[in-house]
Structure 1
Amino acid sequence: MAGGGVVLVSSSIVRPVNSSQSGQTKIHLTPFDLSLLQFDYPQRGLLFSKPDSDFHLISRLKDSLALALEIYFPFAGRLVKTENLEDNTVSFFIDCDDSGARFLHCEAKSVSVSDFLQPDGSVPDFMKHFFPADDFKSCDGVSVPLLVIQVTEMKDGVFISFCYNHMVADGVSMWSFFHTWSKICSSGSGFNHKPLVLKGWFLEGIDYPIHIPVSETERSPPSRELSSVPITKEWIFHFSKKNILDLKAKANSEVASSSDMEVSSLQAISAHMWRSIIRHSGVSRERETHCKIVVDLRQRVNPPLEKDCFGNMVYLTSAITTAEELLDRGLGEAALQLRKLVSSQTNETCKRFAEDWVRNVKNLKSGIGSKVGDTIVVASSPRFEVYNKDFGWGKPIAIRAGPSNSISGKLSVFQGINEGSIDIQATLWGDVIVKLLADVEFLEHVTIA
């Protein structure tokens, strides 16, 4: 099979067509934003078939990106850090100065679409070279762009990937931007797009900009422990519409007599993955295990925000139990715990988190994973419509997550290409992958391509 073979052809900065049109020069950052200061830039990418040579791929993508950045102007800005000498702290804000996004044009002439789409669901190691970030963290936004695009031309396909600063936006905002960019590119010109609505959520009683201890904003040195951590591998697990309906029905039937809450499809799938992974992770039965899930808070604060307002408005929260309870109490109880966790994220919860965070800034360097295999993190969402992103030569044929926050237990959840299906790209220790692929109970509800 082909190797990575990715060659950088050019690197350039793309700026909004009309500079200084935003009318917005400074965006203050909330506790929800600043808690992601040490998080990696999220990375995602879409695989397409190759357009005809007369499409003028790179020039059209760059020209339409400039128009999209005029609308989504925060992505063309930079992170600014200011020193507060009076209390030895620093503060951050987004300066919408039209500095621009970086655009990387690459080629991988030896790689074909079939190399990407392995029939067993495995994700090739070379794929990491198809993504733009080189260990970018949100705090690096003071010196690197807040958005980086990489377009890699392959033998018979094109891979368009991106990474973005998580303090500036979340998945809702990023995919909205990507959709707008694709529509502009496919139409060959701009279109009437309503002005961007910023999230505008600030908590009364909190002074901005927020002061953060200098020690919490410095990059953590590489961990010496990583050399002893097993190698992770990535795998795509496909849940067909039937798989999902069966899992959801099973979970709800197990808790029907004890709760009037209905478990969702995603909660059932997440619980199935959580139980299956912990069963094979070698975690002692007495040890606590965490399932961290991302909750969109736009409609949970009071007054609620617009569903598609731009910015980062997500919160990472954890369901916690022991491995013994997780494995012995069944799928329904695990899914119900996730259901209750999501329901508990209210306006009061948001206010309490923000107030506590400002009073006691901590854990910025803790990351999202665990080296001992007791934690899974469910990121992204099947609600994001990823297969309608047509830049003018056809819709995507696959989506992939790039390397970021990729300690074992990271699950990136995507809409499946078939209606009603869901795909999970799992980053797990190699031996856990092997055991999952031999686990009859796990595979009963998963479709291996």
Structure 2
Amino acid sequence: MAEFLVISESIVRPESYDEGSGRVKIHLTPWDLFFLRSEYPQRGLLFPQPDPETDFIARLESSLSLALKVFYPFAGRLLKTDNDEDSTASFCVDCDGSGVKFVHASAKAVSVSDVLEPEGGNVPGFIRSFFPANGVRSSEGISESLIAFQVTELKDGVFIGFGYNHMIADGSSFWSFFNTWSDICSTGFDRKNFPPLLLRGWFLDGIDYPIRVPISETVSPVRIVNSSSPDLQEKVFRFTSRNISELKSKANGEVSSDDRKISSLQAISAHMWRSIIRNSDLKPEQGIHCKLLMDMRRRLNPPLEKECFGNVVGFATATTTAGEMLNNGLGWAGLQINKAVGSQTNEEFREFAEDWVKKPKIPHNVAVSNSIVVASSPWFNVYGNDFGWGKPIAVRAGPGNTSDGKLIVYPGVEEGNIEIQTCLSPRVLEKLSNDAEFLKHACVVV
């Protein structure tokens, strides 16, 4: 692969930011602090090539500045307070307008086809260089920007990569920001089209804030820039609308419960889970897990507005054994996931927070052995983003919280399709890619 070149690196601040006007500090919840040691999630969109006569980099920077005026928390920094009297630390988001990292890079020998149809058939390793926050952890938001962008010019296209601090926002809030940025870039900024940002606010009565976390729980390991394990590989699998309909129908047809309906995503997740376990050569008694990150806004009581900004995700975890999984069908696996999702109630969510505050515990990784983790969502508006020279050609996940069994879910380019970027050991991934039973309902994209 030819030389990768960083052309420039800058900080983009919100347009007309006045530090003394309306400066906000946002306190963090247990669910935010849970991600303190996590790496920035990173995603990227592949676009066609802009008109060479257009100064699209300047256009992206100026529109980003305007978008940050609306989504001002992203332009702030994490503020840490050391509480010496009890050896704890407290954190909040200081919306001080410090700005966000913006990198302009070039990889002119790389073509769109190199990304979409790489040699070897896996997501190519060179894509790692297209992302701006490799190895950056949430705790580093004290000095690192809370969201970062990298625009890499290719031979015949452009790749816009980004990483963001999961303590500040979840996927729902991030894509709302990204949609706003692309709208401003393509159509201009009209303040009346962008209402004031609706902050999540504090909704846990009885919990004092800022929350105090033991210093020992705030220490992260030394940053490893190439955070993806060399022992893992990634492929993208596509489920067409027909595949999805067939899996959903099959799963629900195998379940006798009238009060539970397995959703499309639950059916797909069950199919992936069963297929991965079938190809993993686990002993029947070994425990296995399926973790799904889910938006809790509307599940709280009182519910939060869907548009509120922040991180409001919970983990639904289904647990069984490899033997029990393989002795039962798709519907049974889908029902386990359905029950796990259903268990994420307002009471469960609040109970976790109350217990966590009493004894804060921050994991190094949300994944555990023999687990799959289903992240992102097929309902995010990914392919509607047009900065003025065409909609995305493809979406890819970058390094960040990568683990064996991580499944990143996107909408497909064609409406109704779903694509899943799948990270597994080479041995399991190869077997899965040649599993006739799995491929009855999925196809390999790359």
Give your verdict on TM over 0.5. yes
- Counterpart of 2:348, as a letter, is T
Higher mean C-alpha displacement, 439-448 vs 99-108: 439-448
Q: Distance in 2 between matches of 1:329 and 1:219?
A: 41
**Counterpart check, 1:84 vs 2:86:** no
Q: Distance in 1 between matches of 2:2 and 2:378?
A: 29
* 1:295-338 deviation per Cα after TM superposition (whole angstroms, max 9, x unaligned): 11100111111101100000123111111111111110111111
**Counterpart check, 1:331 vs 2:324:** no
State the SS of the aligned residue for 2:69: helix
Q: Distance in 1 between matches of 2:141 and 2:442?
A: 39
The answer to whether the Cα contact below 8 Å between 2:123 and 2:236 also exists between their aligned partners in 1 is yes
Distance 1:259 1:221, change over 3 A: farther
The answer to whether the Cα contact below 8 Å between 2:70 and 2:197 also exists between their aligned partners in 1 is yes
- Counterpart of 1:174, as a letter, is F
Q: Distance in 1 between matches of 2:182 and 2:190?
A: 11
Alignment of 1:299-378 (within 5 A): 299-362=298-361, 364-370=362-368, 372=369, 374-378=370-374
TM-score, normalisation: structure 2: 0.95
- Counterpart of 1:20, as a letter, is D
How many aligned residue pairs are there?
440
* 1:337-381 deviation per Cα after TM superposition (whole angstroms, max 9, x unaligned): 11111111111011101001101111x1341224x5x11000000
Q: Distance in 2 between matches of 1:121 and 1:269?
A: 22
Alignment equivalent of 1:11, drawn from 3, 9, 12: 9
**Counterpart check, 1:380 vs 2:376:** yes
Which residue of the partner structure matches residue 411 of structure 1?
407
Which residue of the partner structure matches residue 272 of structure 1?
271
Q: Distance in 1 between matches of 2:141 and 2:230?
A: 31
TM-score, normalisation: structure 1: 0.95
Q: Distance in 2 between matches of 1:94 and 1:378?
A: 27
Deviation at 1:23, TM superposition (A): 2.0
The answer to whether the Cα contact below 8 Å between 2:101 and 2:147 also exists between their aligned partners in 1 is yes
- Counterpart of 2:93, as a letter, is I
Q: Distance in 1 between matches of 2:125 and 2:2?
A: 8
Q: Distance in 2 between matches of 1:96 and 1:405?
A: 25
Listed as ranges, the gaps of 5+ residues in structure 2 are: none
Q: Distance in 2 between matches of 1:170 and 1:20?
A: 27
- Counterpart of 1:236, as a letter, is V
Q: Distance in 2 between matches of 1:220 and 1:284?
A: 32
Alignment equivalent of 1:391, drawn from 380, 387, 405: 387
- Counterpart of 2:444, as a letter, is I
Q: Distance in 2 between matches of 1:268 and 1:350?
A: 24
Q: Distance in 2 between matches of 1:74 and 1:387?
A: 25
Q: Distance in 2 between matches of 1:448 and 1:29?
A: 40
The answer to whether the Cα contact below 8 Å between 2:235 and 2:444 also exists between their aligned partners in 1 is no
Q: Distance in 2 between matches of 1:191 and 1:206?
A: 36
Q: Distance in 2 between matches of 1:205 and 1:42?
A: 31
Which residue of the partner structure matches residue 182 of structure 1?
182
The answer to whether the Cα contact below 8 Å between 1:369 and 1:375 also exists between their aligned partners in 2 is yes
* 1:53-98 deviation per Cα after TM superposition (whole angstroms, max 9, x unaligned): 1221100000000000000000000001101111110000000000
Deviation at 1:133, TM superposition (A): 1.1
Which residue of the partner structure matches residue 298 of structure 1?
297
Alignment of 1:149-298 (within 5 A): 149-192=149-192, 193-220=194-221, 231-255=231-255, 257-298=256-297
Q: Distance in 2 between matches of 1:159 and 1:423?
A: 19
Alignment equivalent of 2:419, drawn from 401, 419, 423: 423
Q: Distance in 2 between matches of 1:431 and 1:70?
A: 47
The answer to whether the Cα contact below 8 Å between 2:134 and 2:399 also exists between their aligned partners in 1 is no
Deviation at 1:290, TM superposition (A): 0.7
The answer to whether the Cα contact below 8 Å between 1:4 and 1:127 also exists between their aligned partners in 2 is no
Deviation at 1:18, TM superposition (A): 1.7
Q: Distance in 1 between matches of 2:81 and 2:35?
A: 18
Q: Distance in 1 between matches of 2:154 and 2:2?
A: 11
Deviation at 1:230, TM superposition (A): 7.2
* 1:218-272 deviation per Cα after TM superposition (whole angstroms, max 9, x unaligned): 013589xx99x871111000000111011111100010x2443110000000011
**Counterpart check, 1:74 vs 2:70:** no
Which residue of the partner structure matches residue 60 of structure 2?
61
Q: Distance in 2 between matches of 1:408 and 1:336?
A: 23
The answer to whether the Cα contact below 8 Å between 1:121 and 1:236 also exists between their aligned partners in 2 is no
Deviation at 1:191, TM superposition (A): 4.4
Q: Distance in 1 between matches of 2:408 and 2:2?
A: 22
Q: Distance in 1 between matches of 2:375 and 2:307?
A: 18
Q: Distance in 1 between matches of 2:223 and 2:49?
A: 39
Higher mean C-alpha displacement, 183-192 vs 241-250: 183-192
Deviation at 1:385, TM superposition (A): 1.3
The answer to whether the Cα contact below 8 Å between 1:4 and 1:129 also exists between their aligned partners in 2 is no
Distance 1:389 1:445, change over 3 A: same
Q: Distance in 2 between matches of 1:150 and 1:310?
A: 23
State the SS of the aligned residue for 2:65: helix
Q: Distance in 2 between matches of 1:23 and 1:442?
A: 54
Deviation at 1:189, TM superposition (A): 3.8
The CA RMSD over aligned residues, in Å, is 1.8
Q: Distance in 2 between matches of 1:408 and 1:184?
A: 38
The answer to whether the Cα contact below 8 Å between 1:184 and 1:191 also exists between their aligned partners in 2 is no
Q: Distance in 2 between matches of 1:391 and 1:143?
A: 29
The answer to whether the Cα contact below 8 Å between 2:185 and 2:388 also exists between their aligned partners in 1 is yes
Which residue of the partner structure matches residue 123 of structure 1?
123
Alignment of 1:88-107 (within 5 A): 88-107=87-106
- Counterpart of 1:55, as a letter, is T
The answer to whether the Cα contact below 8 Å between 1:8 and 1:106 also exists between their aligned partners in 2 is yes
Distance 1:209 1:141, change over 3 A: same
Which residue of the partner structure matches residue 141 of structure 2?
141
The answer to whether the Cα contact below 8 Å between 1:230 and 1:429 also exists between their aligned partners in 2 is no
Q: Distance in 1 between matches of 2:222 and 2:68?
A: 34
Q: Distance in 2 between matches of 1:310 and 1:365?
A: 24
State the SS of the aligned residue for 2:299: coil
**Counterpart check, 1:438 vs 2:434:** yes
- Counterpart of 2:53, as a letter, is D
